Amino acid sequence: MYQSQLIAANCVSEVIKGHNLNHVFEKNFDHHQNITPQQKSVAIFLAYGAIRFLGENQFFIQQLISKKITNKKIEALLCVSLFQLNHDQSTDFTIVNEAVEAAKFINKSWAGSFVNGVLRNFIRQKDQLRNKLKNNEEAFYSYPSWWIRLLKKEYTKDWENILLNGNKHPPLTLRVNLRKISLEHYEEKLKAEAIAYRVLGNIALEIIEPIAVEKIPGFKEGEVSVQDFGAQLAVKLLDLKDGQLCLDACSAGGKTGHILESADVELVSIDHQKDRLYKVKENLERLHLHAELKCADLAEVSGWWDKKLFDRILLDAPCSASGVVRRHVDIKWLRRPRDIEMFSNQQKMMLQAMWQLLKKGGKLLYVTCSIFPDENQQVIDAFIRDHEDAKEVEWTVGSEYNRHANHLIPSENHDGFFYVLLEKK
């Protein structure tokens, strides 16, 4: 276990310094090429858990140590071990012994005995420290205080559930490709493999016990895709018709495929990151679908647009990702309050640029995976005030969605999203 603890600690220390977790994983796994698949899997689990509960872990460290730890790897190893002691099923004895072994590889002569002393001290005081934790919101919920304040202001009844849901493991939800197979026939495949599932809204399937993507029946054949239940709502709201010319702005892959599964449209898909577009291409090849992919700056319209107006535009705008924090656990620690204003300004610019590309009578769906109003309703309200030809179209959803105005609030069924459908009068 100590190898996995050590790799996880390296990753956590980089996140504490402000680096993106996915990039950190790539770097560390390239450096540790001899680890087994099981060790890699455990390292990912530990890193995610330690970062998910970073506020809690750092609170315990502050209570146990009088001086600030200057070595970030030692601090990160303690965070990993404290996560295990509080949320993992391994025995306390095993966790501590393996952590002491891991500490020896950080090249500090005192590291092993220091880690041993801190963790054993925690075990002795566990109950008292957990009681203290309840009096510190940032530590108890493991979110920055500014994040908690924003949610309390906007969601007076739901803020606590939003925070708690954000600290849970995300569900594995599938979108069925109705061009290839019906929901009912795909259910039969899951039953034949004895894979437990539940149906969401008669359109999606949640796998109860998550499995590796390559083991999902029909995935390689393009019969299903992994996509959150809340994200699947986008294509329904777009109101697609065969023969339409559509734009997928800020393409990431999931919604691109869903658009093409839903109607025979001509689709242009844009993103400024080549690696994201490559993933879109791979996904479309798996689904045997085609879109015109363009790597370009969306707002620099003259560089990629051929002057043909679009019937439908999906603007999946860059945002804080505050609604998908359970999938991207580092987000809440990397974001800063000033980022919200930056995203808001970027969203307004993109919305303005896309509006000129839309036909009269056409529809633009504005989407974010944020639950902060500054990136969402305030952007839309300002846009409608400045554009007399913009009309907001009302939309409805079933009881499977946890809806608050135009927000889908994070729940056991789905992540957090914001949707507004605008029609050009």
Q: Specify the number of domains making up the chain.
A: 3
Residues labelled catalytic? 369
Pair 353, 299: CB distance under 8 Å: yes
Are residue 192 and residue 313 in the same domain, yes or no?
Answer: no
Please tell me the chain's helix, strand, coil percentages from 3-state DSSP, rounded to the nearest 5.
50, 15, 35
Q: Please give the pLDDT value at position 299.
A: 86
- The answer as to whether 142 is a domain residue is no
Residue 252 counted as domain residue: yes
CATH number for the domain spanning 217: value is: 3.30.70.1170
Instruction: Return d(Cα 229, Cα 175) in angstroms, integer.
Output: 8
3-class DSSP state of 352: helix
Q: Do 176 and 267 share a domain, yes or no?
A: no
Are 198 and 129 members of one domain? no
Query: For residues 238 and 122, what is the distance between their CA atoms, to the nearest angstrom?
Result: 53
Mean pLDDT of 163-187: 95
Is the pLDDT score of 25 beyond 90? no
Mean pLDDT of 382-409: 94
Residue 149, in any domain of the structure: no
Say what percent of the chain tops pLDDT 70.
99
Do 414 and 304 lie in one domain? The reply is yes
In angstroms, the CA 152 to CA 371 distance is 12
- Name which residue leads in pLDDT, 31 or 165: 165
- Residue 152 falls within a domain, yes or no? no
- CATH number assigned to the domain comprising residue 123: 1.10.940.10
Rounded to 5 degrees, φ, ψ at 358 are -95, 135
Question: Residue 216 has what DSSP assignment?
Answer: S
Torsion of CA 419, 420, 423, 425, to 10 degrees: 180
Query: Are residues 82 and 187 both part of a single domain?
Result: no
Q: What is the average pLDDT value for the chain, to the nearest integer?
A: 92
In a domain, 281, yes or no: yes
Q: Are 315 and 278 contained in the same domain?
A: yes
Computed from CA positions of residues 205, 210, 215, 220, in that sequence, does the dihedral angle turn out positive or negative?
positive
- 221 and 106 within one domain: no
Given 117, 137, 157, the domain boundary residue is 137
Tokens for 201, please give them: 């809204």
**Same domain, yes or no, for 182 and 238?**
no
Q: Does the pLDDT value for residue 163 go beyond 90?
A: yes
- Per-residue pLDDT band for 160 (boundaries 50, 70, 90) equals very high
User: Same domain, yes or no, for 405 and 337?
Assistant: yes
Buried b (16+ CB within 10 A) or exposed e, 382-405: ebeeeeeebeeeeeeeeebbbbee
How far apart CA 206 and CA 284 sit, in angstroms, is 22
pLDDT at 31 over 70: no
* Residue 213 resides in a domain: yes
Provide mean pLDDT across the span 330-353.
Answer: 95
The mean pLDDT of 50-69, rounded to a whole number, is 92
Q: Tell me which residue of 376, 384, 393 sits closest to 319, measured CA to CA.
A: 376
- 101 in a domain, yes or no? yes
One domain, residues 131 and 186: no
Residue 209: give the domain boundaries: 172-226
**Residues in Cβ contact with 5 at an 8 Å cutoff, skipping those fewer than 6 apart:** 43, 46, 77, 80, 81, 98, 99, 102
Among 276, 212, 287, 289, smallest CA distance to 246 is for: 289
Do 220 and 237 belong to one domain? no
What sign has the CA pseudo-torsion 58, 63, 68, 72? negative
Alpha carbon distance 178, 35 (integer Å): 40
Q: What is the CATH number of the domain that holds 412?
A: 3.40.50.150
Average of pLDDT values for 303-326? Answer: 95
Alpha-carbon span 187 to 372, nearest angstrom: 36
Q: Encoding tokens for residue 114?
A: 């220091």
CB contact set of 287 (below 8 Å; sequence gap of 6+): 177, 222, 225, 257, 260, 261
On the question of pLDDT at 145 being above 90, the answer is yes
Same-domain check for residues 329 and 357: yes
Q: Report yes or no on 277 lying in a domain.
A: yes
The arrangement of strands across the sheet holding 172-176 comes to 197-200, 204-207, 172-176, 224-226
- For residues 251 and 249, give the distance between their C-alpha atoms in angstroms, rounded to a whole number: 5
- Mean pLDDT to the nearest integer, 191-218: 93
Average of per-residue pLDDT across 332-348: 95
Q: Which of 88, 117, 137 is the last residue of a domain?
A: 137
Which secondary structure element, helix H or strand E, spans residue 86, and what is its range?
A: helix 72-87
Confidence of residue 27 (pLDDT cuts 50, 70, 90): confident
